[in-house]
Amino acid sequence: MLPMFIKLVTYLFIFYMQPEFKTLQGIDTVQLCDTFNLAFSDYLVPFHLTPVILQQKMEGENLRRAFSIGAFFNGELGGFILQGPDDDKHPKVLYNGGTGVIPAFRGQRLVQQMYGHFIPVYQQQGVRRLLLEVISTNLPAIKAYKATGFRKERVLHCYKGDIKAGARPGIEIRKSPSPDWERLGQFDTMQPSWSNSVDSRKREAPYVVTWEAYIDGKRAGYITVAKDTRRIRSIAVAPEMRRRGVGNTLLHTAAQQLPGAFSILNIDDAHPEISAFLEQAGLTKYLSQYEMAMDI
């Protein structure tokens, strides 16, 4: 009986503690990673980061501690929102690269409280738009975001699996140490999500590898893959070079060079041809997300 009473008292004490909201400045990557993993320990999709992978994520998505939010209880980080600005000095858009609340501090509407506390701060800094992604079946999170003021803008699909695509003769593949992103970005037919954007690819340069395809000496397409996770950041083929096996040859090259299962996130539902291409190459859709936004 006593242990149950102690648990009840502890729960009530935690529930009625008043959180302090401030940025994550001063929180090191190891502590942030531990809190992140605890918050996602019972997530819909198994999720676990190492400090190295978290650091790569933060660099690629430009997640900045100065713009990120923490909910602290007696100095303990109980909840967080990792935010990335589109411009470090004059931000107009902030991207939510991860929201988490550890189990002990749930049930207090911390997400709404964190946003409510910091939106006036963001407005003063010049921010006009907030952006995030949420798994389509995560109903409590969607409810919390809608209550905060976010609206759904598009549906994004995520794929993973072993690549089974084959190479096509006559297509030359070159590893590109310094891709011309302004030019390669013109091959994209889909508006990429934040983490797959050209800016994110540039920031992730130390952690990704890019291969370019050529036909008769002309650039035909490219693929960019995170080396540690085999997550495809982007794959695209020049419009005039499509249906000639370029995409399959790029996938085949990546699979040969980085053995193991691959994944790719956030394929726009408005582009079913991209989903069909990935599925015929051996990848399977494992979840969908909503991209949500709020103007402030």
Give the pLDDT confidence of 266-286 residue by residue, as tens digits: 999 999 999 999 999 999 999
- Percent of the chain that is helix, strand, coil (3-state, to 5): 35, 30, 30
Q: How far apart are CA 264 and CA 261, in angstroms?
A: 11
End-to-end Cα separation, the chain, in angstroms: 50
pLDDT band at 3 (very low <50, low <70, confident <90, very high): low
Q: For 141-180, what is each residue's pLDDT tens digit? A: 999 999 999 999 999 999 999 999 999 999 999 999 999 9
Reported CATH class of domain 159-289: alpha beta
pTM: predicted TM-score of the whole model, two decimal places: 0.89
Top pLDDT among 4 and 59 is at 59
Top pLDDT among 45 and 207 is at 207
Residue 2 has pLDDT above 60, yes or no: no
Amino acid at 211: W
At the topology level, CATH places domain 2-149 in Aminopeptidase (3.40.630)
Q: For 82-95, what is each residue's pLDDT tens digit? A: 999 999 999 999 99
List the structure tokens of 221. Answer: 């397409």
Domain boundaries of the chain, sorted by first residue: 2-149, 159-289
Amino acid at 195: S
- As to burial, measured by CB atoms within 10 angstroms (0-12 exposed, 13-18 middle, 19+ buried), residue 255 is buried
Asked, colleague to colleague, whether 2-149 and 159-289 share their fold, the answer is: yes
